[in-house]
Structure 1
Amino acid sequence: MFHRPFFASLIALGLASCSGDLSALDPAGPYAGAIANLWWIMLAGAGAILTLVLVLFGLVLFRPGFGRSLSVKGWMIAGGLFLPVPVLMALMTYGMAQGEYLIGAWQNEPVMARVEARGAMWRWDFRYPDVGSDVATVETLHIPAGGVVEVRVTSADVVHSFWIPRLAGKIDAVPGHTTVLRIKADVPGRYAGICAEYCGTGHAGMRFTVEAHTPETYRQKLTALTAEGPAP
């Protein structure tokens, strides 16, 4: 028989899984926030449909004869259309609205900085063309906080996937092609990034760190990197 400590531990484990460096449910910017909100709304919608199904199931079990007033065809129409369709329509409308928000934000917000990210088995290299062609870092991406950063992503070998869960969605890094992702960190801090596409035996270790600085500190950091010389 289950006891209260078991349920308390279960709830604590569930809440802990919603935070952390690689949790998309612990957003640190508006783009990741829109994705997290969509996830929660989708979960609520799925919960609503599940609740309706369980209520009907319970009525059939504990109230004999409950469903006899409807024919089999009637149950198919009522249970397959009238119950889930309004919830699914609401979820689709909200999802499209969030998509329009992201597209609009990308088109209307000015870009504060541009960086280039290149995936290679099994690391990430970053360059900063706004500052100079000789400014580069390995496995650490520097960005200014509070502004939009445009990341141009490519790959040196196989398909990788560039993902900073707390700042934005993910995008594929394709050999010979450049894909564009925009990220934004609300406040300075350190954020974790990973390759989200299986790319070989070293995939699990293909991680990187994002350091978000104030705009003034960001420029100073890049100037210091320039003085140190290009990364290998």
Structure 2
Amino acid sequence: MASRAKSTKTSAKSKTGKRRFRPIAWLRRWILRSLLIAIATVTSLALLYSVVNPPITHTIWSEKRRLGDVDREWVPIEHISPVLVRSVVAAEDANYCLHWGFDLEAIQSALQDGGQRGGSSLSQQVVKNVFLWQHRSWFRKALETLLTPMVEAVWTKRRILEVYLNVAETDEGVFGVEAGARRYFGKGPDELSAREASLLAAVLPNPKGRSAAKPTAGLVKRAARIADGAATIRADGRSACFED
């Protein structure tokens, strides 16, 4: 009986005593909690931004910090010329209405080209611009790949495009098609001609190195191809998911 009582006492003491610190287990718990918090935060933001305009992005913030100020004004997609919307889609993701976040043909083509040109869809670019950062890395690409299907599931195609048109850089320190149209042509994005729309869309892959106001011969040729592409996606129905 005495031995049994002693064993019970020792067991109780061990339960009430301090637990031994295990750094690996602590680190594992910390990583798991951080991951869950990050997932919950991004999910909440994705739901919020489906109806509320993102106030800022990492790229806009970093450029504002570097330059001192940026030119940006949000404009609803209803106030953007349809030909400009189609031109941007034709330039950046002609099959936008045919996929759910990833254009496999574009990705395959980019890989065959040695990675010299991007294969990211508009949805992937929105995820990168709104939730992530511009610096290339496998980690960022992995996050982008995980987040894109969620955004596609929560946002409409029209909403994804609206956000892209308002956060994409169109010139150094200039973000969105409203500011870009006024910078290059002195008019709003709802007043652009087909040629002006295609020129603005043509600068998007390299806004710091290209100018729609003073286009090079190469940029003019690219704009002409974009204008043809914009007309094509309208004719064959590939603009149906974002047109009224």
**TM-score (normalised: structure 1):** 0.31
Larger strand percent: 1
User: Which of structures 1 and 2 has the bigger CA Rg?
Assistant: 2
Greater RCO, 1 or 2 (C-alpha within 8 Å, sep 6+)? 2
**TM-score (normalised: structure 2):** 0.30
